[in-house]
Structure 1
Amino acid sequence: MAENKMILLSADAEVSLYQVSNDIWNHFDELVVDFYEWKKTNRSDEKLFVKYLKSRFSEESINFIKIVGNYEGSPNMIWLDGKDITGQYANTKWHNF
């Protein structure tokens, strides 16, 4: 992964930052839709989505970077230490499961 393409994933809890391949970045919205069709259970969360992406592309296609804060509801908001830090990630693609 030459460029730093980043996405945020959450499941109504901690918001995690991941570095992803260009293929994932360029087709992120489509991949979310495909994931919901692919999964065989009612369970939908960040870990299962990461597993799906790795199985479809490669182990190296998505890498966890860090937890950036906590999900604080719609519209998607990120809070850290009692402060809204959502603006820091304004240009980062995000899906909350």
Structure 2
Amino acid sequence: MSSTGAGGEIGRFLTIADAAEILAVDVATVDGLVRSGELPAIRVGTSGPWRIERAQLEVWIEMQYEETRVGVAWHEGEFSNIVELSGARSSRLRPVD
């Protein structure tokens, strides 16, 4: 069921299904993002349905684009092959006691 009004406009809050449709992913993916806290959402009542504010979804999408841009720029940079800087784990590195 879509949260569009009579004029076809989407309201302030989206269902998980609406957000999944916008992102072109399945409902389980969005549900997982909400439950993990990665995608901000509110619960209507103590055990009611989740709702995602449209503006928050747009912010989250922009953050995903930025994360991708940073990741691509880092991996194309001159220091990307340095394990200590890339965040990659190496079996040669041991924690200092």
Q: Shorter-chain-normalised TM-score: which range?
A: under 0.3
The structure with the greater share of residues assigned to strand is 1
Normalised TM-score (structure 1): 0.26
* Bigger Rg, which one: 2
Normalised TM-score (structure 2): 0.26
The structure with the greater share of residues assigned to helix is 2
Higher RCO, Cα 8 Å, sep 6+: 1
